[in-house]
Amino acid sequence: MSTASRLPGIAFTDHVFRVPLDHTAPQGEQIEVYAREVVASDRSEDTGLPWLLFLQGGPGGKAGRPLGRDGWLERALDDYRVLLLDQRGTGRSTPATRQTLTRRGGAKEQADHLAHFRADSIVRDAELIRRRLLGDDRRWSVLGQSFGGFCTLTYLSIAPEGLDRAFITGGLAGLRSSADDVYRAAYPRVVRKNEGHYARFPQDVEAVRRIAAHLADAPAVLPDGGRLTVEAFQALGLLLGGGSGSGTLHYLLEEAWVEGAAGPELSDTFLAGAQAQLSFAQGPLYAVLHESIYGQRSVDPAGTGWSAARVRAEFPEFDARAALESGAPVLFTGEMIYPWMFDTDPALRPLKETAELLAARADWPDLYDPARLAANEVPVVAAVYHDDMYVDTADSLETARSVRGLRTWITNEWEHDGLRVSGGKVLDRLIAMARGEA
């Protein structure tokens, strides 16, 4: 099924595909996967344009909704017909949320269902779609941002015959890194991002301590009924991984207080802003599946087991209450997912037991094939952000050395969101590299 529409500078076609929930049982239950085909308006009839599949970051993130030739699409549409994929469970694909998963039954049935929503299933969806849109013999290129880059490595591991070229931005996963390895490397990077934020905005040290002290005594209620505990407040550090995130966090803190009838209280403006950053209502799979993207039987044979929470205990500098007692700055955390989030966020509460079962799951298949990657023949170019808070640079470079023919561009000009905010410059550089022009 497809429908066509136009916006300034682009023509797009909506596609809906029926795919197996479990690709090992193709005659079993089917779900829908949505994708938006985008082409420059003046090239909409050019059937010879090569295709570029975009794999969104996440997990659990839908593809962007373009309003015209904006962002990286401006550059991509010079050369490609682009397919923006809503990965299974997201956007206009068959949704997987607290509202829909209850129809599956109890927590075990929900967890078993969601076990089919990792990178290997996303790649098999993409291959099925490629064959339906392009035919068996025509390849396409892929652009993977962040988690989309992880998916691209899986693509190169299980179906490289479908790919012409691969572009990766901020998404070279450690092929043999366990979840514990990932978080042991991540917490020190988050410390450095905190140090950078407080060096930029030294007044925020006391501003954050004041809010944290208030929340440590009395968690606040967010507009959606969620609870803003001191730990939830620390999770606003997710912002620090983006180019403008430090400024966004500072401006949020600026409006934290109002003078109420009984004295100073946290403002509605601040609480609404915090909720906008912390709620998983629009992307619950990000929380539910986050640690599973690292789960592989060969490196996590016992499951991931709430790795971010366990490893955090090895970094006592993130203990907000201890920092308040000692006079130290209160540190924000990063993109880590913690069990308590399934108590404080109304969108996640119904999925708490399901998340527990997924965290304990010990039979995750491997997502990468190191031997096949070592023999790779698909041209691959990757942007590695030197100061990336989300993806470890050392892991990225080790992976780059492990994939035959992969070329890297290492830069600190951009943060993790460089593809989105660079106005096409990051993608332009990668395309030039793939052509041997840079």
The CA–CA distances, whole Å, from 99 to 49, 283, 284 equal: 40, 12, 11
Q: How confident is the model at residue 99 (pLDDT cuts 50, 70, 90)?
A: very high
- Whether pLDDT at 3 is above 80: no
Q: Is residue 177 among the annotated active site residues?
A: no
Q: How far is CA 316 from the centre of its chain?
A: 26
On the question of a cis peptide bond just before residue 329, with omega within 30 degrees of 0, the verdict is no
- Whether pLDDT at 2 is above 80: no
d(CA 158, CA 373): 10
Amino acid at 166: A
d(CA 355, CA 299): 20
d(CA 354, CA 361): 11
d(CA 344, CA 182): 25
Q: What is the pLDDT of residue 438?
A: 79
pLDDT tens digits, one per residue of 254-264: 999 999 888 89
d(CA 245, CA 412): 16
Q: Is residue 146 among the annotated active site residues?
A: yes
Q: What is the pLDDT of residue 395?
A: 95
d(CA 235, CA 341): 10
d(CA 317, CA 315): 5
Among 44, 141, 146, 279, which one carries the catalytic annotation? 146
pLDDT tens digits, one per residue of 229-258: 999 999 999 999 999 999 999 999 999 999
Q: What is the average pLDDT across 315-337?
A: 97
Kindly report the number of other CB atoms within 10 A of residue 137's CB atom: 7
Question: Is-contact 278 347, C-beta < 8 A?
Answer: no
Percent of the chain past pLDDT 90, that is, above it, reads 93
Among 125, 416, 417, 422, which one carries the catalytic annotation? 416
Closest CA to 140 of 158, 160, 124: 160
CA angle at 99 for the pair 282 and 108, rounded to the nearest 5°: 110
Question: Is-contact 389 334, C-beta < 8 A?
Answer: yes
pLDDT tens digits, one per residue of 342-371: 999 999 999 999 999 999 999 899 999 999
Closest CA to 388 of 207, 189, 202, 116: 189
Amino acid at 269: T
d(CA 70, CA 60): 23
220-221 and 257-260 strand pairing:
unpaired
Helix axes 179-200, 245-254, angle to 10 degrees: 60
- Whether pLDDT at 195 is above 70: yes
Kindly report the number of other CB atoms within 10 A of residue 432's CB atom: 13
pLDDT tens digits, one per residue of 106-118: 999 999 999 999 9
Kindly report the number of other CB atoms within 10 A of residue 302's CB atom: 10
Closest CA to 193 of 233, 249, 252: 249
The pTM of this model reads 0.96
Question: Is-contact 119 154, C-beta < 8 A?
Answer: yes
Q: What is the pLDDT of residue 1?
A: 55
d(CA 405, CA 381): 9
Q: Is residue 416 among the annotated active site residues?
A: yes
- Whether pLDDT at 280 is above 80: yes
Helix (H) and strand (E) counts in the chain: 19, 13
- Whether pLDDT at 123 is above 90: yes
Among 136, 137, 217, 363, which one carries the catalytic annotation? 363
